[in-house]
Amino acid sequence: MVVLLSLHQLPPITERACDHDGQYYISPKIDCDMYSVNVDFSDEDIIELYHKHGEMEQYHSEIKTDLCAEQFPSGKFETNELVLELIQLAYNLLRMIGQASLRISDIPMKRPVNRRRLRTVVERIIMTPGVVTKHARQVRLDLGRSNPWRNAASQISRIFQAAK
């Protein structure tokens, strides 16, 4: 199928003389955003789908790198299926912890965020160092005083204990 476009339907064309660092090109770089699709959606819906696809690729990359899931451990389908289900469970739990941490106001952050990467959740909250002490028939967990994430880890623990 060939579609002929009139002049007012042509996609926007951008001409750039230099890159984002200020380095000038020998000849200008010309960008044109064109999407070739075979579905009957509006232009805005198609562009939104492409952007969502890019966002989903970030999630896939995060699962592969932060959960060390680049390769499956076995040549057997059933074993890999079980590993994938465990990865999915770990991913969902870490995302829940990350979302719960967004509601805590005293977390040391450089700028406001909408979500926490899995690596941040694992490094800052899951791997929070602590000492378990038993005294007077009580078990206590001491998270230290120098760790700026200690309050966040204890508050998240309370959030999930209350959700039982």
- Residue-level pLDDT at 9: 56
The answer to whether position 101 is within a domain reads yes
State if pTM tops 0.75: no
The answer to whether position 54 is within a domain reads no
The answer to whether position 155 is within a domain reads yes
- The domain in which residue 109 lies consists of 90-164
The answer to whether position 100 is within a domain reads yes
The answer to whether position 107 is within a domain reads yes
The answer to whether position 123 is within a domain reads yes
The answer to whether position 39 is within a domain reads no
Q: Would you state the structure tokens that stand for residue 88, as one six-digit string?
A: 């999915």
Residues 106-115 pLDDT 10s? 777 778 788 8
The answer to whether position 108 is within a domain reads yes
- Residue-level pLDDT at 33: 72
State how far the Cα of 55 lies from the Cα of 59, in Å rounded to an integer. Answer: 7
Q: What are phi and psi of 118, to 5 degrees?
A: -60, -40
Q: Which position has the higher pLDDT, 87 or 59?
A: 87
Tell how far CA 18 is from the center of its chain: 31
CB 95 within 8 A of CB 59: no
State how far the Cα of 150 lies from the Cα of 146, in Å rounded to an integer. Answer: 8
- Residue-level pLDDT at 112: 79
CB 148 within 8 A of CB 124: no
- Residue-level pLDDT at 53: 85
Q: Which position has the higher pLDDT, 123 or 35?
A: 123
Residues 77-132 pLDDT 10s? 999 999 999 999 999 999 999 998 888 877 777 787 888 889 988 988 888 888 89
pLDDT greater than 90 at residue 7: no
- Residue-level pLDDT at 134: 93
Q: Would you state the structure tokens that stand for residue 58, as one six-digit string?
A: 């970030």
Domains: count for the chain: 1
What is the overall mean pLDDT for the chain? 84
